[in-house]
Structure 1
Amino acid sequence: MSEKLNVALIQPDLKWEDAAANREQLSNKIGQLSEDVELIVLPEMFTTGFSMNARQLAEETEGETLAWMQEIAKNRSAALTGSVIIKEEGHYYNRLFFVFPDTSYKTYDKRHTFTLAKEDETYSAGKERLIVEYKGWKICPLICYDLRFPVFARNTVDYDLLIYVANWPEKRIEAWDTLLKARAIENMCYCIGLNRTGKDGDGYVYNGHSAIYDPLGKALTPLDRSVEFNAEVTLDRNSMLKTRSKLKFLQDRDKFNLLDE
Structure 2
Amino acid sequence: MINRLKTALIQASLTWEDPLVNRKTFSKKILETSNDVDLIILPEMFTTGFTMSPKHIDHGEGLKTVEWMQAEASAKNAALVGSIVFQENNQFYNRLFFVKPNGEVSFYDKRHTFTLAGEDKIYTAGTSKLIVEYKGFRICPFVCYDLRFPVWARNTDFYDVLIYVANWPKPRINAWDALLKARAIENMSYCIGVNRIGKDSNGHEYNGHSAVYNTLGEELIFSEKEEVLYANLEKEHIKKTRGKLKFLDDRDEFTLLK
TM-score, normalising length: structure 1: 0.97
Trace 1:51-200 onto structure 2 (pairs within 5 A). Answer: 51-57=51-57, 59-60=59-60, 63-200=63-200
Match of 1:32 in 2: 32
Q: 2:250 aligns with which of 235, 249, 252?
A: 252
Give 5+ residue unaligned stretches, structure 2: none
Q: 2:61 and 2:249 mapped to 1: Cα distance?
A: 39
Contact 2:17 2:56 in 1 (8 A): no
Which residue identity does 1:38 align to in structure 2? D
Q: 2:132 and 2:59 mapped to 1: Cα distance?
A: 23
Q: 1:59 and 1:239 mapped to 2: Cα distance?
A: 44
SS of residue in 2 equivalent to 1:221: strand
Q: 1:204 to 1:245 in 2, by over 3 A?
A: same
Q: 1:59 and 1:39 mapped to 2: Cα distance?
A: 28
Trace 1:208-223 onto structure 2 (pairs within 5 A). Answer: 208-222=208-222
Trace 1:11-50 onto structure 2 (pairs within 5 A). Answer: 11-50=11-50
| CA-to-aligned-CA distance 1:188-238 (integer Å, 9 cap, x gap) | 00000000000001110000000000010100003xx22211011111011
Q: 2:254 and 2:52 mapped to 1: Cα distance?
A: 35
Contact 1:84 1:94 in 2 (8 A): yes
Give 5+ residue unaligned stretches, structure 1: none
Match of 2:224 in 1: 226
Which residue identity does 1:253 align to in structure 2? R
SS of residue in 1 equivalent to 2:69: helix
SS of residue in 2 equivalent to 1:93: strand
Give the count of matched residue pairs.
258
Q: 1:21 and 1:58 mapped to 2: Cα distance?
A: 14
SS of residue in 2 equivalent to 1:220: strand
Q: 1:145 to 1:58 in 2, by over 3 A?
A: farther
Match of 1:242 in 2: 240
SS of residue in 1 equivalent to 2:21: helix
Q: 1:17 and 1:256 mapped to 2: Cα distance?
A: 40
Residue 9 of structure 1: CA displacement? 0.3
SS of residue in 2 equivalent to 1:63: helix
Identity of aligned residues (%): 57
Which residue identity does 2:77 align to in structure 1? S
Residue 62 of structure 1: CA displacement? 6.3
TM-score, normalising length: structure 2: 0.98
Q: 1:252 and 1:20 mapped to 2: Cα distance?
A: 48
Which residue identity does 1:258 align to in structure 2? L
Contact 1:9 1:232 in 2 (8 A): yes
Contact 1:59 1:85 in 2 (8 A): no
Residue 61 of structure 1: CA displacement? 8.1
SS of residue in 2 equivalent to 1:164: strand
Which residue identity does 1:254 align to in structure 2? D
Contact 2:193 2:211 in 1 (8 A): yes
Match of 1:4 in 2: 4
Indicate the RMSD between aligned Cα atoms, in angstroms. 1.0
SS of residue in 2 equivalent to 1:83: strand
Q: 2:233 and 2:166 mapped to 1: Cα distance?
A: 21
Q: 1:164 and 1:59 mapped to 2: Cα distance?
A: 26
Which residue identity does 1:68 align to in structure 2? W
